[in-house]
Structures are given as C-alpha cells and as structure tokens.
Amino acid sequence: MPRYPQLDCLRGIAILGILLLNIVSFALPSAAYLNPAWQGPPSRTDTLLWAVLELFAEMKFLSLLGLLFGAGLIFQLPRGLSWMTHRLLWLVMFGVLHGILLWQGDILLSWGLVGLAVYRIIAHSDQSENLLRTGAIFYLFGVVLLAGYALISGHNPGSDWLPQPADIAAERTVAINGGWLAIHDRLEQFDGRLLALVTQYGWELAGLMLMGAALTRQGWLLGQRPVSHYRRCYRYLLLIGFAMTGASAYLQYATGWTFRWSGFWLQIPLELGSPFLALGYVALFHAHWQRLSGWRLTSLFIQVGRMALSNYLLQTLVCTTLFSVLGYFMALTRGQLLAVVPLVWMLNLAFSYYWLRYFRQGPLEWCWRQLTRWTSGA
C-alpha cells in the first residue's frame, strides 16, 4: 500500500482529535456524551467547552476518519477481493473483542462491517463522480433516518438522556468494578448498537467511505489540486459547515438541551454540517501543506497516523486504566477531563515515535497484516 504523508498526518490528527469527545465516554455516564445538562444546567465553563467541541470537533474527526478509511480501501483494492474481505473480517473481530472486553464506545466493529458492505461498490465503480454521488445519497439517507427517529420518538427523555440517580450509580458500579459485570453490561448493549448501525449511522458511515474513495481516485484527497483550488474550497466548506453546526449548538443551548429538540432534531444540522467541516479541514490542510510539511510536529502526527489502530487502542487502555481500574470515573469535571487529553496525546506521540524507530509498522498493524495474509493466502 502506498504511503502518503499528507493522509498519514490527517489520520494522526483525527485519531488524536476523537479523544476530545471519547474522554467523556470513558469518564462519565453515557448520557453526558450528547447532553451537557445530564445533571442539571452545566456551569458556564462547561457550557463554553461543550460549545467549542460541538462546533469544531463533534463528529468532525469521525467524519474525517471515515473519508480516510475510504481512501484506505482504494489503496488495498489491488491486493484483491479475498485480501479485502479477510482484512475487514479481522477488523470486525478486533472490534468485537475491543467492544466487549474493554470499552462500549468501540468503532472498529462498525467500520469493519460497513467496509465489507461498501468495498465491492468501490471495486466495481468505474466513475468516481458516480461513486461520489452515491456516497452523498447514502449519507443523506442516514440523516433522513435520523429525522424518522425524531418523528417516532416520544418527548419524554429516557435514562440515556436524563439518567436518574439509580442509573448513574449503576453505571459507576459497572465502570469501577469491571470484570464480568462490565462485560455482561456491554453484551446487553450489543444488539442496540448493531441495530443503530443498520438503521441509521451505518448509512452515514458508508457514505463517508464512498466519498473518501471517490475523492481519492480524483486526487482531491491526496492534495493533487492547485493550492488556489484548496483555498477556495476551504473557505466555502468551512463557512457552510460552521453555519450548520453553529446553528445546532446555539439552538441546543437556547432550548436548554431539552430531549424533544436536542435529542434528535438539532442533531440533524450537526450531522449535515460535519462532512463539510471535515472536507474543509482537509482543504485547509492541503492549502498549507508546503509550510506544514517542514514542522517537527507534523512528522509526529504522521507517525501517529501510521499507527492509527495501535494508537486508538492505546487510548482505550490508558483511559480505562485511569477511569475504571484506578477509580476516577465521575471524579473529574468536563474541563478537567479536557486537561487530561494532552497527557494521553503525549503518550500517543511518544509511543509512535519510539516504536517506529525500530519497526516499520505499529504492533496492531503488523498483527492485522499477518493475520490477513495467513487467512487470505495472499
């Protein structure tokens, strides 16, 4: 598979960026991820931090990873469909183990399953324009399904939006005690996560992968257009994306994060705006790549991106150790949690730097490649 330092750098930034949101899932009850008012009106500081992340990070880095995953499918296709099938099936297995044994917020299972569903579309699509159009349609269909959920849902929030003290105590017990209790809890949530993937999120993820594959074939995602083109693109893309996500964030705040609005309806402009911002970030990055490529920090991001799977799982190991094993679950505020994020980033950067001084691939990347080679016969 060819290596493009720009894509590795973007992947590294995205892997680091998703921790800004995931840290809440590691350290607080599940309701806190979408609802900053899960325990009543948040403080002014927490409100400001929520707004900044909602505007710049929520779904943006996941959308960026989805686009880059589509690019990765393009690069793997020359190895053949057997290689692709086995590679994605191993990713599914990693996701099952990760999601059941370590953390319920796993994305690997979803990405492996969706990858299995779309890679043949990519392989048999001759026109990148058609592939791009199909991706956009898939993504919009996922948003329409979200609107459908909004129509059929009641106005009374459940424990996943406004948990009762007993619900919070139960989550804390599971997080702190771990072991079979936590595994059993994750298994109970497994069906619901698969259902959500099939009936809504999976369509958006498939759309992002298809769009990423199409833009890679066109060379746009690889930075093969003039700098002036990327400058025009990021101005328009960021303007549209920030307008949509800014409206979502403001209206959620203005309505007091009530479930009737913030639970579904006001997530729609957020999800519509996120691909624009992800693409805007890519365009901004390529527009300034000539200068960025000389930075020391950029080379570190590239190394993180080359070990994206290993670094993603490292974040899980560090955070579950801190918040579950050491018992800091619900011990820190949202602001304090964000102060922890740079410390985990430093571990990601140091791990990638020192590992790649001695090895060509990250440990999980090497394992994934060897398992795929072993079962596919390639």
| Residue 52: predicted pLDDT | 95
19-59 tens-digit pLDDT: 999 999 999 999 999 999 999 999 999 999 999 999 999 99
| Residue 178: predicted pLDDT | 86
pLDDT at 100 > cutoff 60: yes
Query: Span 60-67, mean pLDDT?
Result: 96
DSSP-H helix ranges across the chain: 5-27, 44-56, 60-76, 81-97, 108-123, 128-152, 165-177, 179-196, 202-217, 227-254, 259-260, 267-287, 289-292, 296-306, 308-320, 334-358, 363-376
CA distance 266 to 235: 24
pLDDT at 158 > cutoff 90: no
Query: Span 96-117, mean pLDDT?
Result: 95
pLDDT at 330 > cutoff 90: yes
| Residue 355: predicted pLDDT | 98
pLDDT at 196 > cutoff 60: yes
- pLDDT-derived band at 378 (thresholds 50, 70, 90) equals low
Q: Coil, helix or strand for 40?
A: strand
Taking a C-beta distance cutoff of 8 angstroms, is the pair 31, 38 a contact? yes
Burial class of residue 226, CB neighbours in 10 A (0-12, 13-18, 19+)? exposed
| Residue 282: predicted pLDDT | 98
Mean of the per-residue pLDDT values for the chain?
Answer: 95
Tokens encoding 209:
């992968």
CA distance 110 to 107: 5
Question: Which amino acid is it at 75?
Answer: F
pLDDT at 151 > cutoff 60: yes
Taking a C-beta distance cutoff of 8 angstroms, is the pair 172, 329 a contact? yes
Query: Span 161-169, mean pLDDT?
Result: 93
Task: From 305, 1, 286, 271, select the one nearest 139 (Cα to Cα).
Answer: 271
CA distance 259 to 35: 9
pLDDT at 318 > cutoff 90: yes
Tokens encoding 184:
């059993």
Q: Domain limits at 324?
A: 5-376
End-to-end CA distance of the chain: 14
| DSSP calls for 8-42 | HHHHHHHHHHHHHHHHHHHHS-GGGGT-TTBTBSP
| Residue 159: predicted pLDDT | 83
| Residue 46: predicted pLDDT | 93
Domains: count for the chain: 1
Question: Which amino acid is it at 58?
Answer: E
Query: Span 193-217, mean pLDDT?
Result: 95
Using alpha carbons only, what angle is made at residue 231 by residues 228 and 237, rounded to the nearest 5 degrees?
Answer: 140
pLDDT at 154 > cutoff 90: no
Percent of all residues in the chain with a pLDDT value above 90, rounded to a whole number = 91
| Residue 268: predicted pLDDT | 96
pLDDT at 63 > cutoff 70: yes
